[in-house]
Amino acid sequence: MINVIIKRQESQIKQFELSGHAASGPYGYDLVCAGVSAVSFGAVNAVMALSDADLEIEQGGEGGYLWVAIPAGVTDDTMEKVQLLFEGMLVSLKTIEQEYSESITIKER
């Protein structure tokens, strides 16, 4: 099971954590894991390419873990870009969850 935890502060996404594996197919052929990875890494890469945010990132050595936080001191303009990209990521992850709820769960705090 992939567990996604979204942490908000004043309605803004401040950090998120993904952990676990979907186990919905053989290694290398797991479409849920591939989709979640593409969506989450794509969002992080987009933030890094399109904004001035210097994200804090931790990854698990063998995959199955990603933690991302927005550091303090990000300007309002940059935060607006980051929030749009991360909210888009969340919409995509929720779409995957709707179809594959046995393989992914999302919690917001």
Supply the range of the domain harboring residue 6.
2-108
- For the annotated catalytic residues, the residue numbers are 21, 33
Contact 42, 35 (CB under 8 A): no
CATH number of the domain encompassing residue 100: 3.30.70.1490
**Rounded-to-integer distance, Cα 81 and Cα 67, Å:** 19
Give the start-end residues of each E strand in 1-109: 2-9, 12-19, 56-59, 65-69, 104-108
Model confidence at 11: pLDDT above 80: yes
Q: Tell me what pLDDT residue 29 has.
A: 87
Q: Tell me what pLDDT residue 25 has.
A: 87
pTM: 0.94
**Mean pLDDT score across all residues of the chain:** 95
Summarize the confidence of residues 17-32 as an average pLDDT: 90
42-45 LR contacts (CB < 8 Å, sep 24+): 42/89, 43/85, 43/86, 43/88, 43/89, 44/68
For residue range 63-98, list pLDDT tens digits in order.
789 999 999 999 999 999 999 999 999 999 999 999
Closest by CA position to 52, among listed 28, 25, 30, 75: 75
